[in-house]
């Protein structure tokens, strides 16, 4: 099977009018400074290895959903970053708190906002679509990433929080509802997210064109969907 080529679908990507953008793993990541402090007994763990480890979970990515084993995700994430199983077990409670119950931090604040400002010229409506406990809009505003209306971050049309809707990824319904809330149809939207299951396949199940955020080129499913290594690369597709 041949690889999906951007040149074959660029006109389709450019025809969309709404961007449905994932948050966790794309705009934010677990607090690296706190993770490094917790894993100070693991010299193989670095800022770079922690970032890369976030995308080493196959089809799930950083996109946990209902029914997923959160503890297993935390354990595999820390081991993928370079810690031994013994080192992870020794500080697992602290790691679990940082990854699952503490606010994540911007992944690339300056670069991401600059890229979003390039994107909005061509996709005038951007909505953040995320699985959350209900605090997604407050979090991205507090971190200076984005807000609905004017502010220090990128102005977006909406923040679609799974807790508010009562529908969670990977249920395609969250993308159908997002399109409806934005006054459009799924076929006029494009989704960018880091999880094959929660973003690419779920959005596609709703009729949304899907692009996989794959910063390290780890995804083996090159024949199935488009890939972008950064928001800046995605922005360049429209220019």
What integer pLDDT is reported at residue 81 of this predicted model? 95
Three-state DSSP state, 8: helix
Closest CA to 133 of 159, 162, 102: 162
What does the block give as tokens for 21?
């953008």
What integer pLDDT is reported at residue 11 of this predicted model? 86
* Cα 11 from Cα 213, distance rounded (Å): 19
Distances (CA, A) of 128 to 9, 85, 229: 23, 35, 18
Residue 239, C-beta contacts closer than 8 angstroms, at least 6 positions apart: 118, 122
pTM score: 0.92
Query: pLDDT of the chain along its 239 residues, tens only?
Result: 456 666 668 889 999 999 999 999 999 999 999 999 999 999 999 999 999 999 876 555 555 566 678 898 899 999 999 999 999 999 999 999 999 888 899 999 999 999 999 999 999 999 999 998 888 999 999 999 999 989 989 999 999 999 999 999 999 999 999 999 999 999 999 999 999 999 999 999 999 999 999 999 988 887 788 999 999 999 999 99
What integer pLDDT is reported at residue 28 of this predicted model? 95
Q: How many Cα atoms within 13 Å fall on the side-chain side of residue 202? A: 31
Provide the strand spans (E) within the chain: 18-21, 28-29, 105-106, 125-130, 146-148, 154-156, 158-161, 189-193, 209-213, 226-228
């Amino acid at each position: 099977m041949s690889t999906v080529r951007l040149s074959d679908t660029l006109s389709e990507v450019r025809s969309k009018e709404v961007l449905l953008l994932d948050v966790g793993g794309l705009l934010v990541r677990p607090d690296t400074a706190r993770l490094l402090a917790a894993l100070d007994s693991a010299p193989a763990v670095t800022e770079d290895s922690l970032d890369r480890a976030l995308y080493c979970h196959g089809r799930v990515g950083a996109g946990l959903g209902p029914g997923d084993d959160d503890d297993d995700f935390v354990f595999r994430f820390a081991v993928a970053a370079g810690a031994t199983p013994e080192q992870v077990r020794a500080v697992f409670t602290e790691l679990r708190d940082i990854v699952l119950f503490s606010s994540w931090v911007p992944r690339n604040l300056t670069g991401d906002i600059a890229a979003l400002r390039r994107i909005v010229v061509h996709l005038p409506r951007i909505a953040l679509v995320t699985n959350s406990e209900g605090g997604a809009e407050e979090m991205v505003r507090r971190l200076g990433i984005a807000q609905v209306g004017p502010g220090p971050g990128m102005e977006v049309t909406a923040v679609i929080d799974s807790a508010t809707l009562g529908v969670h990824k990977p249920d395609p319904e969250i993308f159908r509802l997002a399109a409806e809330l934005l006054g459009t149809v799924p076929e006029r939207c494009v989704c960018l997210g880091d999880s094959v299951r929660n973003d690419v396949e779920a959005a596609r199940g709703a009729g949304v064109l899907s692009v996989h955020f794959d910063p390290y080129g780890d995804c083996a499913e090159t024949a199935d969907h488009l890939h972008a290594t950064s928001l800046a690369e995605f922005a360049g597709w429209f220019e």
